[in-house]
Each structure stands twice: as structure tokens, then as C-alpha cells.
Amino acid sequence: MSSNASLLLKNVRLIDAGQNRDEKNLDIFLRDGKVAEIGSSLNLPADQVFDLNGAWVMPGAIDLHVHLREPGFEHKETILSGAEAAVAGGFTSIACMANTNPVNDSAAITRFILEQAASAPAKVLPVAAISKGMAGQELVEMGDLAAAGAAAFSDDGKTVANSKLLRHALEYASIFNKPLLCHCQDNDLFAGGVIHEGMISAAHGLAGIPTLAEDVDIARTIMLAEYLKVGVHICHLSTATGVRLVRSAKARGVKVTAEATPHHLFLDERAVVDLAYSEDLDEHVRPQQLRYNTATKMSPPLRAAEDVTALREGLADGTIDAIATDHAPHEATEKAVEYELAPFGVVGLETAVALGLRLVTEKVLTPLTLAARLSLAPAAILGLDDRGSLTIGKAADLMIIDPQREWVVDPGKFRSKAGNTPFAGWRLPGRVVKTIVDGRIVFNL
């Protein structure tokens, strides 16, 4: 179906934080790739009409943090396979990090990513590196990259250790209105670490990554933004202290935003030694290896139970603006190695929204705050005013959710090339059944 076609979604529950609207029995009319009309009992001629029987319609989720691995690591994921995974999980826009090979530090690479993404089902937003080669030495050509279509700047996976360089990056990027997405980590405190430094690392002899490694760098990043009076975004908060630092910075007016991942919101360090510690896993898809399973290895690591509690509080009160996946696909054989040798990272695109629904059933979020964390806030952080909400005239990017459709996470059925999820065997309460991008149905369960 072409994007100038029209689509009428009947009998939906619209949940849109941008309009502060959670309303049942509505019809939504999409035309020319945009939201054209919202009302009850709309009687408009449309190319396609769906009676959705009370299903939820939310703005398409926007992921501030994915790794699509192309160019360079196409065996892990491609822009196309990553975008297919995205729409299968309800994401209509995804910001892809620069740690490809070559690194996305030049307009040519940004253009390549956009070209590859032209035929992909989701909107792909290339994030350019902050420093050339992500080496932390020299700034990339931010003006050229912004003109080529870079949506943001980040040396994700590494931190810009040189504070003067980070200062200049924050100052220079601000004129293009493109955010800096900061992976906060003190490299020396982090070095050699494998899992959270805590009870499990102490008991099992795995080298610890202290919360301190993240917290000192969050403090530094906030201080820079405060001093320079510019905005900054903190990637994947994982610690209680990090939440406290962001909360107090926001209270004094610092333009800081933050994201958290579903895995940090649902799992703590105990998962490293027992993947089934918190869940009754479905026996058909549960992983054989529950202890030292490398699907629990990511950076930042799964933290202590009290950190998870603090993240949930921060997500509920808005200290944490966005849920982002940090989708980090790896080939199965790359993860099927000794725990200490395994690469960091887990996939998340196909489970994040459903885990978000679980946050609603667990009363951490309301449906409206979930929509804010998944769509409205990420759009605002990236300065995308054509999406993130379903007000009339915005892009018809949306997800249709059946909140009663329980399902079991089965990595074997992922659209992503990779299955490195710590949630295999989880029963989730609802799922995305259709995803629409620019008025086109790009995923249909």
C-alpha cells in the first residue's frame, strides 16, 4: 500500500501523552502518511478499514539507542534486519549508534546508513560519533554530519574521557540543535570489570564494575552541561546514585535528560548466576544454561536490587525521560564463550514495548506515562517535532497493541539476526499486533 492511501482504525483506545489523552471508543483516520482525523464514529471513505475492538493505539515507539552493526558487522545485524526487529516490537524510529566499522564519523557513512535504510520498514536515525574514530581525540565534522542527516552525536560504548573535548563537543553541537548522547563511564574504574561489583561478583570471583564508574562520569557530564548551560542526554542509567544525580540536576534547572533500558528495569545481578531467579520461565524456550549465561552480560551491567528499585522510581517520576533498548545484537557463537570473554550487549527491540506493558500491569507506569517514555520524550530529546504524538498533522507512526495477548519470549522467532536476550521464556502480558509507519502497515502479527 502506498503512503498516500488512507486507513481508518475503528474502535480503539488512544493513548497519547502528547495530547494527554487516554480515551476509549475512538476512530483514527490516517491519510497521506499523516494523522488526519480523530473522533468517535468517523464515517470516512478509506482504502482500508480495521475494527480494532478496543485495542490500544499508541504513537510508535522511538528508540534512542540501538546498534544496527552495519557497516562492518553484518553477521550480527543489518540495518534491514534491525529495522524489521524494530517494527515487530512497535518501534517506528530507531537511532543507531556510531560504533560500526568504519565508525559513523563522516557524512559519507551517515549517507550510506540512510541509503540502506531507505527501504527499511522503520525510520532509521543515524547517530554520528563525537570524536573521529570514537578515539576521543578530535571532534568529528559536526556541521557536515548534521547536514547529511545525523540525528545526534555519541561515542557510545566509550566515554569521551577528555573533559575539554567533551566540553567543546557540547558547545559546538548545541548550535545544530542535535543532542549529545553520553555513555557515562570512567574507563579506569571500569577497566577489567565483567559484572556489577556487589554480592554476586564477591561470591563468584567475577571482576566487578563499580557503580562508581558510572556515577563519577554522570556527575562530570552534568557539571559540564550545567556550566555551559547546554543540554545533554545520559544513556542507559543503571544506578541509584545516577538517578539521584539526574533528579537533583533537573531540580536545579540543568537541561539533562536520561534513558533506562528494560533489562536494567527488570533484572538485577542475581540473573548472572540464575537466569530464572525472578521468573517462572516457559520450559520450551528457557535457556539450557541458567548460570553464567552470557545473555546477562552487558554494559552497564545488571546492578543490585536497590538500583532496580531506584530506576523504577526514576522512570515513574520522570527523572528518567525515556525507555531505550541499547539493542546490541551479537552472533550466537560470539556469545557462546566463557563469560569473561563474551562481548557486552543484549538485544531489546522485540521485547521492550511488551516489557513496558508489564510495567503498566505492575503499576510502575500508567499507559500514558508509558507512551511518554516510549515516544513523546524520545522525540523531544531528538528534536523531532513530526512524531512522538498522534495529534492531527503528525506522521502516522503508531503501534497497535493487544494488551490481553499474552505471549512467551522466544528468541528463535525474533526478526533480529540475534537472539541474545535475557528474557527468553518470559511470559509478557500484551503485545504489538500492528505497526504503522507513515500510514503504511509495516508489521502485522
Residues that bind another protein (CB under 8 A): 194, 197-199, 201-208, 210, 288-289, 291-292, 333, 336-341
Work out how close the CB of 192 gets to another protein at its nearest, in angstroms, rounded to a whole number. 8
Q: At its nearest, how many Å lie between another protein and the CB of residue 252?
A: 31
**Shortest Cβ distance from residue 288 to another protein (Å)?**
6
Q: Which is nearer to another protein, 171 or 340 (CB)?
A: 340
Question: Which residue number, 326 or 334, has a Cβ lying nearer to another protein?
Answer: 334
Nearer to another protein, 225 or 281 (CB): 281
C-beta separation of 156 from 128 below 8 A? no
Cβ atoms within 10 Å of 118's Cβ, excluding its own: 8
- Nearest distance from C-beta of residue 244 to another protein, angstroms: 19
Which is closer to another protein, CB of 203 or CB of 251?
A: 203
Nearer to another protein, 79 or 194 (CB): 194
Contact (Cβ atoms closer than 8 angstroms) between residue 377 and residue 321: yes
Beta pairing partners, 209: 196
Catalytic residues, by residue number, are: 326
Query: Least distance from C-beta 336 to another protein, angstroms?
Result: 6
Which CB, 138 or 306, lies closer to another protein?
Answer: 306
Q: How far is the CB of 365 from another protein (least distance, A)?
A: 31
> 239 with 212: CB under 8 angstroms?
no
